[in-house]
Chains A and B, each alone.
Chain A
């Protein structure tokens, strides 16, 4: 957009700089959110994260794979209302297959090296949100949708 950084740029930067996102799932229509460490694939099609098999979010996702993830740059100051950006990714969560594990680990652990033992634990499951759309919010209310072609 003229005079403004492009929303793609803002999104890429946000996904690269932020460590945590808020994962939204549900159980029988009852909404549930949880903080997860994530990493984005280069083409922005996937947001990778990991969780224990026994967690509520995992149970929710097994029942319904539809999910969202909010990533944002707020700093808990009044300026956030205009200076912070946020992106809500909406899509479907799938388990990472065995032969894609290596790729997952190289991306995910490059960003979260301290989670190595967690990810490699037998009770952990590697997941990825296949994103269909990002809703990028800047300046409090300026919203642009970025649709990802599958």
Chain B
């Protein structure tokens, strides 16, 4: 077993041990191209690390919880987060540390290094994944190098890598990762060149930045971009970035800086520089036989090639949401802008639109106008749903960015410990619950009022005013196409239940959070404390907005439903009730055509039961999403009625929990959800109230019935039906 090797010992046939990147660098070096001095930690080292820490079984267990195809993006995030955390916490075998130490001392200069992934099969033609795995630049000292190696190994199981390798078939037992450790060339200008444009074979592309290449590759720094004729190298187009900044190595790590004023107006490459880079791409193409995607840098006037791999052409029309998914992986800068846009522009605009719609008096519209109004409201709502997916969901990445940072600093046993720092200000849903709890506590303390309400009488004037105020602020909640607080009597029953619930859970928002925050910040290196605070702030905003945006959106949905309900009311005057299980489109059609006869909806066919054999769930596996173990009767929530029938101590079982219906959570003993992930609403609210929670349990709402006794194990992610 050879753990580490130098480039001159690598041949073209060593790809499975050293990965595509190392093989290409070795070939470039052999043929006289300038490349950085490099070492390669072979896949044997990865194997040794994984073997000693039994990580392969961990990966099997994490990826085996359900079929990969059935995992939602939140679940893939979680799987990758948990695997990464195990990699971060596993000890690196002493043999590897010693081998790296010895080779660093004799093979590379002191100072900043780059530690890059070199996965076997990664940079081969047809399977080239630019930027798929992690690379670290500006790494100094043995300890930092070992940590960077660990990070590269873990990136074999990042969510991006998992998604990309899905089609290739992820083979846990044979997947491995080699690591290239290079001297960091302190380039003044860097970039990439595509020997052929990924979508237009007539052209080549050069992108360039001042400073180090990593800023360009990870999207932090916007580059200058040139298109060139592939045949002649003639430049046909040049686009300048909006602002020229650079990534530079400043001990102990890299930083983003403004480019010197005198350079800011000029592109990093002149005509001669472009020609040199283009020529290098041609030379690489000749060497490897296919057009190359080459990373390069210029230092001391010399062009150095950092890596070379085949250009992958983008395959348009891929069915899944990969492109969208990858857009979720956003830089801090990008998230900063997105947060501003969501908080300052989009949410206020959505509220203004809802205000405008709410002003329109439905009763004053004739049938035709009401049909138009319903469609208009639906169009407005659909538009905001698009915005939700485009802008609000990607903001959730802020939670994750902070989580990754926290886990790297703290290496906690619980990879979700970071979430305790995120609930600094209550989410709208929690504020709503606090308000309900306040009203309920008044009822609890006032036996006369309790008696009145229990007998179905109205409460005293103060109580009624409080309810009105609550309805005004939170009355728009919609769940499963029904308004939650449309019925005053139901709301009163809910308040009574809350008043009678002994020891209802209380939210954790803010409790002791400042102290914990400071403990965390203390652990961060001095020069990264500001970054830690900023990531935390973005994480907190993402956490809050992730829940709040649903509440804002529900207001619009409620306005659509109110208009549809008005339509149904008018149709009831025209038809028998039994014909009126009509959806929105039918309501609109019927309003526009007074002669339309509604067809009764066909009854659902009963499920087919296998002869002589009855299936009964015993133990269902999901993902651990809130620590704790509890046993209680299930309440399967499918609509608003289930919410208002909720009894204290029941286990909330739901297909997809929505912040609009989490007002029952303080009464629940645990939360179980079919959708998976730690960033879904069920998990967030359960953590807030300190309840055991299991998410991602397939078919939970059909396998379990209201009244079944369940044990919810939020440590292991298991639900047992007793």
Contacts and interface: CB of A to CB of B under 8 A. Distances in A.
Interface string B614-646: 111111110000000000000000000000000
Contact of B718 (A2, A44, A141): A141
Q: Size range of the interface on B? A: 20 to 34
A81 B613 contact: no
Nearest to B610: A8
Contacts of A149: 612-614
Contacts of B61: 81-82, 140
B615 A146 contact: yes
A78 B615 contact: no
Interface string B238-269: 00000000000000000000000000000000
Contact of A1 (B69, B612, B698, B716): B698
Interface in A24-46: 43-45
Given A141-B621, A145-B616, A81 B699 contact: no
A110 interface: no
Given A3-B70, A77-B173, A79-B173, A143 B619 contact: yes
B618 A78 contact: no
B637 to A, nearest CB: 19
A139 B617 contact: no
A2 to B, nearest CB: 6
Nearest to B62: A82
Contacts, number: 82
Contacts of B614: 146-147, 149
Interface in B137-192: 172-173
Q: Size range of the interface on A? A: 20 to 34
Majority secondary structure, B binding face: mixed
A40 B163 CA distance: 40
B63 A144 contact: no
A10 to B, nearest CB: 12
- Most chain B beta-carbon neighbours within 10 Å: one of A4, A45, A140, A141: A141
A3 B698 CA distance: 9
Contacts of B65: 82, 139
A142 B619 contact: yes
B60 interface: yes
B612 A3 contact: no
Contacts of B60: 78-79, 81-83
B621 A78 contact: no
A145 to B, nearest CB: 4
B57 interface: yes
Contacts of A115: none
Nearest to B66: A139
6 contacts: A1-B699, A81-B64, A82-B65, A141-B718, A143-B618, A146-B613
Interface of A: 1-4, 7-8, 43-45, 77-79, 81-83, 135, 139-149
Across the A-B interface, give the 4 residue pairs with the lowest CB-CB distance, nearest first. A82-B64, A143-B619, A143-B618, A78-B57
